[in-house]
Amino acid sequence: MFVATLTLLALVASVAFYVYVERFSKILKHSGKLGGPRAYPLIGNGLLFAGKTPAEFLQTVGRLIQQYGKCFRIWLGTQMLIVITEPKDVEAILSSNKYIDKSIEYDFIRPWLGEETAMGTKVNAQLNTESEYVQAVKDITNLVQIRLFNFLIRYEIFYRFSANRRKQLEALKVLHGYTDSVIKSRREELNRAAGSGKNTVVDENENELGIKKKMAFLDMLLQSKIDGQPLTDLEIREEVDTFMFEGHDTTTSAISFLLQNLAKHPAIQQKVFDEVRNVVGDDRTRPVTIAMLNDMHYLDLVIKETLRLYPSVPMFGRKMMEDAEINGKVFPAGSNTIILPFFLGRNPEFFPNPEKFDPERFNVETSAEKTNPYQYVPFSAGPRNCIGQKFAVAEIKSLVSKLLRNYEILPPVGQYDETFIAELILRPEKGIYVRLQPRVY
């Protein structure tokens, strides 16, 4: 019996190894034609990123782009990544329904976000930047970035026994614990309301005039059903965690860089303020409507220019599920494509004088955004683009216009920090500092 079991296991292992070698050999066959740095057996190009901090990651990738062009491959262990900053290649990938599978790197955040604030509760991240929840978000994004380019702990078998895995579990305990407690508390409230015959959701979603307000996203999830079955707490947690992160940190990054650039460029700031004042008027207490936000056209340009230079998500990926010939190059099945909005937006071929902050570059018919939309993809593009981009822009406009109506944004006393950390979200290494001065008008 033991011999038979051992033989069966050996047979299964042999078949699995054969399939892996066949698949790997197909990838290997096409990798040389793509070009890229010299790779070594087992570790690939892992040494290029070994010991690199998140701040050094973008510098390393930038040097590789300068050396190998707008499409090349790198190996992290036995996993091949195809780095692309050629808009035609980006278009072929993002515009197609065939290439919509997320790259393997997304597996690294699945323990946190699952398969995919909406909660009607406050994290108070601004008032308490050292809260457990805020620190846990910082920790887990840093751990994911380290894992992305560490050729050894990319493999689950090695990561499982690493110190980073233990740190990740500690962060997940905080993140999931907070979300679970909110879901549990709100579900109990709804159950109590149902038991007493009161419709708490309706009551809480009406203002003092009896006008219905919009329901919190969490309440919608708690009352939703799929195939007649309510969502489980785990399913709800995955959705809530996704909205908390993707709808919060990304917008925070964009607003921070935008304010920094308004401080650096007072003439541009004055032009934005003049537009806001013209649209809203001089009454600082007047609420801003969606129609008003839509009329702030120059602020639109400033937001676009900010996201060109500082895309909130500096890179994202797609997994090739089948061989694909794209613009004369073969992207083999099993490889992962990495798209880099950070470098797309800084290419002088598409954006002359790319380091200059110039919102007007988006105000002409020949702008890169209009000649080829895939040169500018801060929200991704195609069938898997960001579903919240319009909301994000409205959110940025709302906050910035409110701030400018009340304050002038001044540069810090010291120098600006121009070193970026490319974690899941783009951040300045040492934070962003500006000064606020009450605006007189």
Q: Which residues are annotated as a binding site?
A: 386
What are the CA-CA distances from residue 85 to residues 27, 55, 65, 170, 375 (Å)? Answer: 21, 20, 8, 36, 8
Give yes or no for a contact between 149 and 61, defined as CB atoms under 8 angstroms apart.
no
- Beta strand extents in 309-432 (DSSP E only): 316-319, 324-326, 329-331, 336-339, 407-410, 420-422, 426-428
How many residues are listed for the chain in this entry?
441
Kindly list the distances between the CA atom of residue 225 and the CA atoms of 115, 222, 228, 300, 387, in Å, as whole numbers in the listed order.
17, 8, 5, 38, 22
Query: What DSSP assignment string belongs to 256-284?
Result: HHHHHHHHH-HHHHHHHHHHHHHHH-S-T
- Of 274, 266, 331, nearest to 34 by C-alpha is 331
**What are the structure tokens assigned to 311, written together?**
């895309």
Report the largest interatomic distance among the alpha carbons of the chain, rounded to a whole angstrom: 89
Cα torsion 67, 326, 311, 277: sign: positive
Report residue 355 CA to chain centroid gap: 22
- Give the pairing type, strands 329-331 and 420-422: unpaired
Spatial neighbors of 437 by CB under 8 A, at least 6 apart, are 407, 408, 410
Binding residues for heme: 386
d(CA 437, CA 439): 6
Q: How many CB atoms are located within 10 Å of the residue 324 CB?
A: 18
